[in-house]
Amino acid sequence: MKHARPTSYTGRKATQTITGDVKLSVIEEEATEIATTISTTIATDILRSTIIRGDTTLVAGTVTVPVATIAATDTVLITRTGHGASAIGFLETIIAAGTGFTVNSLDATGTMLNEDGSTLKWIIIKNV
């Protein structure tokens, strides 16, 4: 690629005419692809290090899941994947930092539903 001398000056900036075969669009496309790959890799690494998941089953309406790395500021997401009884309640999650979390099945008044034997999937999102 050939470069011409600056043709004019405005303050500290110089205007320059470039002649020759310029392939900037190809370079820009490659740079965008590299940036996207780096971003995806970083995001994937962050997700792998900040999400813990598993599944469990309520017994008599409750279950405690041991997770030694859980912090009080983490988020626990629960979804019911099946129910093993006629009564299913609202799911309450209580985090015990450094120990794990407990899931309770409650009725509309906040009373434990001992008949709930639902199967659950859970995800912990670490607060980083």
**In the prediction, which pLDDT does 57 show?**
95
Does 95 score more than 60 pLDDT? yes
pLDDT of residue 35: 72
Q: Quick one: pLDDT band at residue 6, thresholds 50, 70, 90?
A: low
Q: Which helix (H) or strand (E) holds 62?
A: strand 62-66
- Fold topology of 51-125: Immunoglobulin-like (2.60.40)
Residues pairing with 102 in the sheet = 64, 94
Spans of all domains in the chain? 2-48, 51-125
> What's the pLDDT tens digit per position in 38-65?
767 666 656 656 788 999 999 999 999 9
Q: How many CB atoms lie within 10 A of CB 46?
A: 12
